Structure 1
């Protein structure tokens, strides 16, 4: 399996993990206190490119804000990274 598809699978899994706490009543926003910085860190470590630094900041803000966890930040980063790699 190519590296880009492994990153896509990891991104989808991490996006789903970021949404899971909202299926447990009362847990959602409390978990985001830990998940917001962790997700930003993971985006930078997984992608290690220029776009990941920007999407990590956006992902941190998105995770920290209430009711915005449905945005698939990891998958968006994967798409942007794939697009940038083709344009280089």
Structure 2
């Protein structure tokens, strides 16, 4: 049985891996732009698989756009989404619970 901690760590690891793959296009000038055409839809789809619901779909669209636009590959979209999901939303949830 998978625990929340295992899920968090898996998503962090995969997010760092996927952000690294997205940044690889900077390594090979010229070929990088072509690889973004392939990686952008894959990255968008992967984001929707890691994070379910409306927020995952929105993040998938943002990831697709970020990967398609030249020069934005440096933005770690998967890591930002992990931070939002497991840190920011978690703090908001705790504040809501303690306000009751």
TM-score normalised by structure 2 residue count: 0.79
Max Rg structure: 2
Could you list the per-position Cα deviations for residues 17-45 of structure 1 after superposition, in whole angstroms to 9, with x for gaps in the alignment?
11112101211110011111110000000
Using structure 1 for the length normalisation, give the TM-score: 0.89
Of residues 74, 89, 92, the one that matches 1:70 is 74
**Separation in structure 2 between the aligned mates of residue 84 and residue 49 of structure 1, nearest angstrom:** 14
Superposed structure 1 runs of 4+ greater than 4 Å apart? none
Matches within 5 A, 1:31-46: 31-46=35-50
Counterpart Cα distance in 2 of 1:41 and 1:59: 9
Choose the corresponding residue for 1:10, options 6, 9, 14: 14
Mapped to 1, the partners of 2:7 and 2:90 lie a distance apart of 13
Question: RMSD of the alignment, in Å?
Answer: 1.6
* Count of aligned residue pairs for this structure pair: 88
